[in-house]
Amino acid sequence: MKTVEIFKTNIQNNKDADKITTSLLALYPIYKINFDLEDEENILRVEANKFEIETDEIINYMIGLGYSCEWIE
């Protein structure tokens, strides 16, 4: 079973997106993580197989880095 969660962020450039992707993958190596900066909501997409995604922890981590991050239902 595949689980996918999407988040609205304020990430503006690929450099920041790459840095955040790397740090999130270090924390959650079982997730597939990417950004869609061409979307107006600068989407963070997190995918996991057979695991529940830690949405609150991801949001808190992003906020701790100084970015906005909201889960999109």
C-alpha radius of gyration, the chain, whole number? 11
Left, alpha or beta for 14 (phi > 0: left; psi -120 to 50: alpha)?
Answer: alpha
Q: What's the whole-number mean pLDDT along residues 59-69?
A: 97
pTM over 0.85: yes
Q: What is the pLDDT of residue 73?
A: 85
Q: What is the pLDDT of residue 3?
A: 94
* Predicted confidence band of residue 29 (pLDDT cuts 50, 70, 90): very high
Give the chain's domains with CATH numbers.
2-72 (3.30.70.100)
Q: Could you tell me the pLDDT band of residue 1, with boundaries at 50, 70 and 90?
A: confident
DSSP letters, 46-65, are EEEESS---HHHHHHHHHHT
Fill in the DSSP letter of residue 22: H
**Under a CB-based contact definition with an 8 Å cutoff, are residues 12 and 18 in contact?**
no
